[in-house]
Structure formats: C-alpha cells, structure tokens
Chains A and B, each alone.
Chain A
C-alpha cells in the first residue's frame, strides 16, 4: 500500500485540458439560458457619500429594462462578508467605496441593462473620502463602521526585546511599503442564475467555496439553505479574488424577483473596481543578530489598508503577523498589526494571504543583516531556520515536518546561486549595452501556513461512487480555478485503488451533488481534499470487503478492484455479482489536525510549506530597466503528486512575484481608481518572465497529507518578490523599500547614489 504507484508524482495530462484547448469548456461567463435577463450593477459614484434618494424610474423607462432592484428588495439580511457581514448587498444609507452596489438592473439585452444602470438616479451627499490608514486610526477620525476604523488589530510579544537588542552586533531598521494588487484573473466575475427542476434557486457562477456562497446567498434572500443551490466547477482564475461573494447574491436576487434566468459578466473596469485586493501595507521592521549570526530580535509593525469592508482582512492581518518572523528561530519577537477601514477599494484574500507582504520586509532585512555581518545570505538563513520542534516566531512549537533548511541547502547547491559572484551578464540581451548592465542574484526563504488554521473549521468531505462496471466517479466540492486539483485528486485515487485514470471521472463543486470539501483557498485542496480522497478509497475497499464477506463468504478484510472484477481473500468475482445494477457510494471526511494551543483568530497553523527562491536580474543603468533573467524555486510542498502541475504553479507564482516586484500597482486618488484596465494595470507578459525557470522539488513528506503531500500554490509566489528585490540590491548596491520598483525609481536612486 505504501509503494508509490507511477501515476502519483508523474507527468500526467490534466483531465480538464482537452476540453479547454478545444474551446469547449463552458466558463461562468460563457453560460446562457433561454429567456434570461442581463443584470448590471449600479455602482457608487463616489468613494464616500451618504445616499439621500434613489430614483429608479428613469431606468424603468429604457426599452428592454424589466426590473430595477434596490435595498428595499433585499428580503433577508442586507449584509454579507466571509467573516463579518459588514458589506451591504445593495447600499441603503451610505457608500464606502467605488465598487459599492446601489441598484441592480435586469433587462432583455446587455445594452439595455447598461443603459438602465446609467439612468438610475442616485442623490448623494458627498463626504470626504478617508484614504490614509494612519489618519483613519487617529482618534476623532470619521468612522466608516460603527466600531470605528480599526477593523482588527493584533499584538504579540515573545522574549525580551530590549534585552535581545542589547546583545545584537547588528541592528537593522527600515520602513517598507507595498501596494494594492489586483488578482487580474483572466475571466472577470460572471455567472448565471435560474430555478432548477426542483425549484431551487440556483447560482452557477464563479467562486471559491460553494457552501459558504450558499450560506451567504440564503442569508441575504431569507431562504432556507436547501432552497439555494450553488455550483462553480470551472472558474477562469481566482487567486483569492473570488473567495468573497461577487456576483452570486445579485444574480440570485434578480432571479428571485423576476422568476427568470439571469446572467452577469463584469467588465474589466468593474472587476478591478469592485472585487477584493491584496492589502497595501506599510511596515516597519527592526531586526537584530549577534556577531555569530544568530537572529535575536524581530520587531514588526504592520498597518494594512483593508479598505471599505472586512471580508478576510482580519485573517490576512493575522497571517501577516504569524509570519512576521518568517521561517526563523527568533527568541525575541514583538509584532503589532492593524487592519484599518478606509475608502480605498476593499482588500481580502490573495495568494500568500498576508505572508506576501511580511516576506518582502523580513527577507530584505535578512539580506541587510547578512551583509552587515559579512555572512553569506543563504548561510545566514540556514543558520537560523526553524526545525521541527522549534518555537516559531509567535512562540508555538512547529509540530509538522519542516523543510525550510532543506530548501536553503537545495538553493545553495543550485547553479544560479553558485554563479552569484559573476557581476557581468553572461549573455546580455543587447550586447552593445553590456557596459551598462549590472547582474545581481538574490534569495529569499519563506514559509506559508497551509489551510485555515485553528479556530476556523477546516474539513473536507468527498463522495465516491463505484459503478458495477468498475468505473468510479469522485465528487468533491472544491472548484477547479486553474490549479489542477481535480487531476491531482484522481491521481491520488488511482494510486490508492490501483485503478487507471481512464476509469475515473470527477464531478466538482455543486451543492446538489458534491459534499462540502471546504474552501478552494489557502493551498489546502491537495492536502485536505486529497487526504479525504485517500480515506474514501480506503473506505470503499473496506466496504467492498465487508459486502464480499457477507455475499460470498470471503474472509474478513478489504477487497480490491481489478477492472470490473473484485479481488480479495476468496479470489476474484465480477463486481456485478456483488452490486447488481446498483452503484456503491461512500463518503469520507478529513478533519485537518490543528495546533495544540490557540492564539486566537485562526492562529497558528499547524502545517506549513517552505521555499527558497533564487532570482537573477539584469539592470540597465542607462535606462533603469530591470529584467529578471532567471529564477530557481526550491519548494517543499511535501510529496509532489503532479509534477507538471507543481511546475505550472511554481512558474505562475514566479510570474506573479515578478509582477509584484516590478510592475503592478492599483493606484487610487481620493478613493478613485486610476488603473482600471490592463493598459494602466500592467501584469507580466511573455516578455517579462524569463525563459530560465527552474523548479526543484524538495520533498519533505508530511505524514498527515495524502502520500505526504502539502500544497505549494502560495509558497510558489511569495518568496519570488523579495528574491528579486535582493537581486536588484546585489546588482546596484542600492536597495528599494517600496514596491513596485520601476525604471524611473532605479534611475532616481542611481542619481542619488552619485550625488
């Protein structure tokens, strides 16, 4: 049973890819239904204003407009939000950001719905937008929510910071600033709604957790859960940006009131303005180490601009604080964090979930300390990394397998790091520029909590149906958002049952058909759902054995599937003799183990993934342009289930990490978005990501995971950005503390260095 079959860890084709390359996959934005209405949202005209009156009559006069809905038409609770329901489905007294929904227009055509939305007249009393989180925190600031503007705060202390700093040979203190980032999933928020054949109000739209969306829809509509059905099997990218409700409640509401199928597809501008973002954060780090290179102190303060509503801002801040000291052993730690309401959009889940920001600060500090101590940056990290049993930054013991040190050593052995002393680019893209090009190599090490942490129920249930012909269908409630999890589930199933992939199929994400497998977030699906799949496979063999014992008088013990036959202690019999024409279904649930001691609000995690990234850059000192020319990723995600999926996630993470370092920034002015399309919100293209991408699996098996697997989707991205920053510093001898680092920043810094 423990022998790893070839399909696990192999390069297999994704089960969803054939339809995708043929253009046959129906995404939420592709779906239509006869007689459906187009729904458009009337969004706030001001980032902060009081609503005096809403006049829908002009919209109703537009030919084709069927219905206009306002807050008066929300039958249940006019509030939603994953953690705190502080966000109105349709605003009634006040708008707090430009994406706030004020009214919905349902019309026969998209054009009519848009025209209707333009005609809804909202009378506002415009208020001064609150755009500076520090000012929003100050006493006397206008409160955006009843409990004030500090949505969440956390304070942790371990050891004796003052005594620790007194022992330090080097102390480094800096402020860092990271911008707001858009997920820029290629498919904007979209979906359809209708009443299904059982009269259930059905929403088939993008999302990352159907069961929570079902709860949020039912609550807003005042319906019992069983009257709401949610599905979202295939989604055109998410990265956390579709974790919070987007179109789902609005769709359901319009279908509820009109009894007609409805459809929504957000424009790119609407998408950027309305959905959650990665928090812009201002950080202060003060860190110190002794002469021998032992990290003694980490002091961090985070002020995260959480925007207009809570969403997952609280948990994001918690994870940021949890990872403030990174994958290191640090005896003295102090962390203070604030998530503050403002009128700057609204922030929530995004790949990395708070680790992203903290890692930029801490890994810059690590390099600065190493330099001050004249230590090799990777040796310095290796000397301080956590091992199993060590106390993590906030003081709890690491009880999972810890591969941090092994990723560092893997990076040390890598070709890129060993070449770091070479100053000139080997093969400059433009040889005539050679005298102006500076080469640099940088590293970053990182850990990332897996799953939801303690205090937030984290479980995964799956269903498995065996047909009499020996084919099987797996049912899991998570979404396929691009990560390839469905394929990995079937690989695990195939491995455990010894049944070839060709006999397995998958049904995903439909509350009517699939059990609650939990969220499609937090690098958890392969770990938590994959484990449930393993358990289901074991259970199936056990149940088959029991039934064979009763039916055929076989000796007790599990029975194995062999094609359409059943094999066990009594030999082989056709499966059909046991099942007749019936299917045999089993369900299995995996409860993710949690840490022994809770520190509050989902902290800490029990399981972590680890990674060390090495990045090479080439900086043109004439133009300031930075090219990332190679990246090596040494990732400990436990046992790799799908090698191609692993590499794909890693490389996608590298691209996003480069974007965060060098180009991406959602810019706002007075709460208004300045970057509402791909022309102004620039993400990496094929010209920005190097050809030389190497992903090295560092497989430290986690016994609790399926085959020892953990997730890597976030670890794959988070370390890339600070590695690039450290590479730039290595190339130029100039360090940047604010992202993104653009050509003009480089030129300005070089100018300053000269003077």
Chain B
C-alpha cells in the first residue's frame, strides 16, 4: 500500500508515493538521491541522519516518510554548495571540524537548528545540542569552535554588517 505525499524538500515540492514503513531517511536517500543525510545506525542513536523538519532537527531515520506529508524538509544539500557555502559549512571547513566527515552533515544540521532558535548559545548549550550526534574521529572541540564561529558570523550577517 503506497501513501501519496507532498513534501517540500530543499525548497522544491516533491509528490511521492511512499511505503507505510518507509523512513524519511530512506525516502531522501533512496528516492530523491539526497545522500547527504547519512545512515549511521537507523535507530536514532548517532545523529548522522539529522535533517530539519519545519526548521527543527530530527533524526530522519526515526521519522516516517508519510509523516513529512505537507511539511518542509531541509537537508545539507539545501544549505549551500561548494563555492556558495552556508556560514556553518564554512566554519566547519575553516576549523577542521571534518575528518572522515560522515558525521558532518548531521552535525551541521543539528547546529543549524540550535542557532535558528538560539543565535548566541553558550559553549554548554552547543555541547548539549550536539550530544546526540556522535563523532568518532574528532574530540568535538573543533566542531564546537566551528559552531561558535558560525554563530558569530550569522549574528553579524543578521545585523547586516560584515564580521
């Protein structure tokens, strides 16, 4: 039994027929070829699959594709592209917050969700926000630095002045 859904993904409306047990992650990766969100565990424990659902970070592996009907999804691909990166992506690049990079898209989307809600988080708040995103390569410090740098840049951008 296929369920027809309409979902806005990175600004584009997609009309799809999804299976009742299909996850949002699987829909993005297998149907839409958006492989930026990663499959690290498929059970909500690693954060590699985090995307924004109506601006809030969710583990896409725990959300059913059908639940996204009528909603808006943003993935890492919708954030920026090489040459036109989002401040968070730039900061991850500049602060060497990327090693194998498998955790990176989920990390960035989680951080984005935090910064949308709280543009000036404390170090502790960033730590807590990304505590559901596992990284096995870094010691997280470079990631925390990157998020703070991006927050600053985004605040400056919001106030219309260059940092």
Contact = CB atoms under 8 A, between A and B. Distances in A.
Given A21-B85, A691-B141, A265 B39 contact: yes
Interface stretch (B1-9, B62-70, B92-100, B153-161): B92-100
Given A24-B36, A187-B40, A678-B41, A648 B102 contact: no
Interface residues of A, number: 57
Contacts of A483: 99
Contact of A22 (B80, B94, B138): B80
A308 to B, nearest CB: 25
Interface in B83-105: 85, 89-90, 92-94, 96, 98-105
Nearest to B34: A23
A29 interface: yes
Interface residues of B, number: 57
B136 A186 contact: yes
A654 interface: yes
B93 A686 contact: no
B46 interface: yes
Interface in A221-246: 235-237, 239
Interface string A167-184: 000000000000000011
A519 B157 CA distance: 46
A645 B96 contact: yes
Nearest to A237: B100
B75 interface: yes
A236 B131 contact: no
Nearest to B30: A32
Interface in A276-302: none
A17 B98 contact: yes
A16 interface: yes
B127 interface: yes
Contacts of B138: 648, 651-652, 655
Interface string B113-146: 0000000000100111011111111111111100
Contact of A267 (B42, B101, B130, B136): B42
Contact of A26 (B35, B80, B82): B35
Given A22-B79, A236-B101, A648-B99, 20 more contacts: A21-B89, A21-B92, A23-B35, A23-B79, A30-B38, A185-B136, A187-B100, A236-B38, A268-B41, A483-B99, A651-B140, A651-B141, A651-B142, A652-B136, A655-B138, A683-B134, A686-B126, A686-B144, A691-B123, A693-B139
Contact of B76 (A17, A22, A29, A650): A22
A481 B100 CA distance: 6
Interface in A620-664: 644-645, 647-656
Contacts of A17: 92-93, 96, 98, 101
A716 B77 CA distance: 34
B38 A186 contact: yes
26 contacts: A18-B82, A21-B89, A21-B90, A21-B93, A22-B77, A23-B37, A23-B105, A27-B38, A184-B134, A184-B136, A186-B38, A186-B48, A187-B102, A236-B100, A237-B100, A267-B42, A648-B137, A651-B141, A652-B139, A677-B41, A685-B131, A685-B132, A686-B126, A686-B140, A687-B131, A691-B144
Contacts of A651: 138-142
Contact of A18 (B38, B93, B96, B105): B93
A13 interface: yes
A686 B102 contact: no
Rank and list the top 7 A-B pairs by shortest CB-CB distance, nearest first.
A23-B36, A482-B100, A651-B139, A20-B101, A23-B76, A236-B102, A678-B45
Contacts of A27: 35, 38, 102
A689 interface: yes
Contacts of A22: 36, 76-77, 79-82, 85, 89
B108 interface: yes
Contacts of B82: 18-19, 22, 24
Contacts of A29: 38-39
A268 B40 contact: yes
B29 interface: yes
User: Residue among B40, B43, B45, B123 with the most chain A CB within 10 A?
Assistant: B40
Nearest to A484: B99
B141 A693 contact: yes
B39 A16 contact: no
Which of B34, B79, B105 gathers the greatest number of chain A CB atoms within 10 Å? B105
A427 interface: no
A645 B99 CA distance: 8
B137 to A, nearest CB: 5
A186 B99 CA distance: 11
Contacts of A685: 131-134, 140
A714 B128 CA distance: 29
A750 B113 CA distance: 43
Nearest to B143: A686
A187 B35 CA distance: 13
Nearest to B102: A236
A268 B49 CA distance: 14
A18 B85 contact: yes
Nearest to A21: B89
Interface in A1-41: 11, 13-14, 16-27, 29-30, 32
Given A14-B96, A21-B108, A687 B127 contact: yes
Contacts of A649: 99
B147 to A, nearest CB: 10
B12 to A, nearest CB: 16
B96 A186 contact: no
A716 to B, nearest CB: 10
A184 to B, nearest CB: 5
A19 B101 CA distance: 9
A185 B136 CA distance: 6
Contacts of B76: 21-23
A147 interface: no
A612 interface: no
Nearest to B130: A686
B29 A30 contact: yes
